[in-house]
Structure formats: C-alpha cells, structure tokens
C-alpha cells in the first residue's frame, strides 16, 4: 500500500523551493511557528480528564510538527544541490 506516492521534482522546481525557503520573511514565519510549538511543548500539562496516553500523543504530534519546521528552516539555509531530486 502506497500512502504517499513518489512525485519527482525537476531541478527548476527544486530551485524554486530552495529560493522560497531562503526568503527572510519565510524564515521568520517558520521561526515564529517553531517558537509557538516549542513553547507549547515545554509549557504543556495534561488537562483535566486527559489520560497520560492522550497527553503524550498530543505532545508527540507537536514534536513532529517542530521537526518538520526544523527541516524546512535547515533546507532554507543549505546550498541548492546541482542534481534534481528523484530524477
């Protein structure tokens, strides 16, 4: 079962993505989102009636979101590769 089929990117598409992620406004926005999620992870406590499992699931979800933002932030600071992705 293929949940996410592989979709190849051309070098042009790859370059466009890297260029967009390097934009200062995009970098700033990603930092703002990461900051909010990071704070929620650190400051979160279980709500009344919330099981430990539910709380840990929500926390893991937020950590996954933070990991994605971290990847996007790193991508915007790396040099563009010279070979197309999935070519």
Check if the beta carbon of residue 86 is closer than 8 Å to that of residue 12. no
**Using one digit for the tens of pLDDT, what is the confidence trace for 54-75?**
999 999 999 999 999 999 999 8
Residue 5 has what DSSP assignment?
A: -
Check if the beta carbon of residue 21 is closer than 8 Å to that of residue 72. yes
Helix (H, G, I), strand (E, B) or coil at 86: coil
Query: Sign of the C-alpha dihedral, residues 71, 67, 62, 44?
Result: negative
**Using one digit for the tens of pLDDT, what is the confidence trace for 18-64?**
999 999 999 999 999 999 999 999 999 999 999 999 999 999 999 99
């Amino acid at each position: 079962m293929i949940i996410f089929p592989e979709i190849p990117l051309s070098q042009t598409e790859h370059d466009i993505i890297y260029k967009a992620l390097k934009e200062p406004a995009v970098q700033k926005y990603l930092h703002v989102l990461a900051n909010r999620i990071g704070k929620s992870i650190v400051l979160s406590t279980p709500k009344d009636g919330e099981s430990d499992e539910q709380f840990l699931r929500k926390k893991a979800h937020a950590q996954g979101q933070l990991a994605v933002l971290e990847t996007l932030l790193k991508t915007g600071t790396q040099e563009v590769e010279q070979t197309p992705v999935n070519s």
